[in-house]
Chain A
Amino acid sequence: MGSHGIRDRVAIVGMGCTPFGEHWTRSADDLLIDAVGEAVTSAGVTLDDIDAYWFGTQASGVSGLTLSRALHLPHKPVTRVENMCATGSEALRNACYAVASGAYDVAMAVGVEKLKDSGMSGLSGTAMPGAGDDSRGEITAPANFSLLAPAYAAKYGLAGEEMKDVITRIAWKNHVNGARNPRAQFRKEVPLERIRSAPTVAGMLGVFDCSGVSDGSAAAIVVRAEDAYKYTDKPIFVKALSFVAGPADGLLDPAYDFTTFPEVVASAEEAYRQAGITDPRAELALAEVHDCFTPTELVLMEDLGFAERGQGWKDVTSGAFDLDGSLPVNPDGGLKAFGHPIGASGLRMMFEAWLQLRGEAPAERTVKSVAEGRSLALTHNLGGGPGECVSFVSVVGSQLTE
Chain B
Amino acid sequence: MAGLIAYGAYVPYHRLARTDVAAALGGKGGKGTRAVAGYDEDTTSMAVEAARGALARDGLRARVSQLFLATAAPAYLDKTNAAAVHAALGLDPHVLAADMAGSVRSGLGALVTAARSPVPTLTVLSDLRIGLPGGSDEVAGGDGAAAFVFGGHRNGAPVIAEVLAHDTVSDEILDRWRLPGAPVSRVWEERFAEEIYVSLADKALTAALDHAAVDIGSIDHFVVAGLHARACAAVRRTAGVRPEAVTPDLAGAIGNAGTAQPGLLLADVLDRARPGETIALVVLGDGAGALLLRATDALPAHRAARPVASQIAAGSAPMPYTTYLSWRGLLDREPPRRPDPEPPYAPPAHRRTGWKYGFVASRCEKCATRHLPPDRVCTSCRSVDAMTDEPMAHVRGTVATFTVDRLAATPSPPMLVVVVDYDGGGRFRCQLTDATEVDAVIGARVAMTFRRTVTAAGVHNYFWKARPVRTGETEGTH
Contacts and interface: CB of A to CB of B under 8 A. Distances in A.
Interface string B307-351: 000000000000000000000000000001111011111011101
A138 B426 contact: no
Given A134-B349, A135-B352, 5 more contacts: A138-B409, A139-B417, A140-B405, A202-B403, A202-B407
B404 interface: yes
B355 interface: yes
B394 interface: no
B442 to A, nearest CB: 5
Interface in A207-262: 247, 249, 251-254, 256-258
Contact of A140 (B343, B344, B408, B442): B408
Interface of A: 118-122, 124, 127, 130-135, 137-140, 142-144, 146-148, 150-151, 154, 200-203, 247, 249, 251-254, 256-258, 387
A65 B372 CA distance: 40
A67 to B, nearest CB: 26
Given A138-B408, A143-B405, A132 B349 contact: yes
A120 B339 contact: yes
Given A147-B403, A203-B403, A258-B419, A133 B453 contact: no
Interface in B356-397: 356, 369, 371-373, 375, 379-380
Contacts of B402: 147, 150, 203
B379 A137 contact: no
A272 B348 CA distance: 43
Contact of B401 (A131, A137, A150, A249): A150
Contacts of B428: 251-252
A201 B379 CA distance: 32
B337 A121 contact: yes
Contact of B407 (A130, A135, A142): A142
Nearest to A122: B407
A252 B426 contact: yes
Interface string B223-252: 000000000000000000000000000000
Given A121-B336, A251-B428, A143 B403 contact: yes
B405 to A, nearest CB: 4
Interface of B: 336-339, 341-345, 347-349, 351-352, 355-356, 369, 371-373, 375, 379-380, 400-409, 415, 417, 419, 421, 425-431, 442, 453-454, 461, 463
A134 B407 contact: no
A252 B337 contact: no
B87 to A, nearest CB: 12
A127 B352 CA distance: 22
A134 B338 contact: no
B427 A252 contact: yes
B401 A251 contact: no
A298 B189 CA distance: 68
Chain A interface secondary structure, helix, strand, loop or mixed? loop
A122 B338 contact: yes
A142 B349 CA distance: 28
Nearest to B348: A132
19 contacts: A119-B337, A121-B336, A122-B338, A133-B351, A134-B343, A134-B345, A135-B356, A137-B431, A139-B417, A143-B415, A148-B401, A150-B402, A200-B404, A202-B406, A249-B379, A253-B379, A254-B421, A254-B425, A258-B401
A137 B442 contact: no
B373 A251 contact: no
B39 to A, nearest CB: 15
Contacts of A202: 403-407
A159 to B, nearest CB: 13
Nearest to B336: A121
A131 B349 CA distance: 9
A138 B372 CA distance: 17
A134 B379 contact: no
Contacts of B336: 121
A119 B407 CA distance: 14
B389 to A, nearest CB: 16
B388 to A, nearest CB: 17
A127 B355 CA distance: 23
A252 B372 contact: yes
B373 A131 contact: yes
B400 A137 contact: no
Given A131-B373, A258-B419, A137 B337 contact: no
Nearest to B404: A203
10 closest pairs, A vs B, by CB?
A132-B348, A143-B405, A134-B344, A203-B403, A254-B421, A249-B379, A151-B401, A133-B349, A146-B403, A132-B345
A148 B402 CA distance: 9
B426 A133 contact: no
Nearest to B341: A138
| Residue of B345, B372, B406 ringed by the most chain A CB atoms within 10 A | B406
A120 B336 CA distance: 9
Contacts of B339: 118, 120, 124, 127
Nearest to B382: A247
A387 B428 CA distance: 11
Contacts of A252: 371-372, 375, 379, 426-428
A134 B461 contact: yes
Given A120-B338, A139-B405, A251 B429 contact: yes
A138 B463 CA distance: 12
Contacts of B352: 131, 133, 135
Nearest to B407: A140
Contact of A121 (B338, B341, B379): B338
A150 B444 CA distance: 13
Nearest to B464: A135
Contact of A137 (B371, B372, B463): B463
A387 B375 CA distance: 16
Contacts of A257: 400
Given A121-B337, A252-B372, A137 B345 contact: no
Interface centre among A119, A143, A151 (most CB of B within 10 A): A143
B347 A132 contact: yes
Contacts of B344: 132-135
Contacts of A120: 337-339
Nearest to A124: B339
A137 B356 CA distance: 12
Contacts of A146: 403
Contacts of B429: 137, 139, 251, 387
A137 B430 contact: yes
Contacts of A133: 344-345, 348-349, 351-352, 355-356
B400 to A, nearest CB: 7
A135 B415 contact: no
Contacts of A249: 379
B342 A134 contact: yes
Nearest to A251: B429
Nearest to A143: B405
B386 to A, nearest CB: 16
A296 to B, nearest CB: 14
Contacts of A127: 339, 342
B225 to A, nearest CB: 37
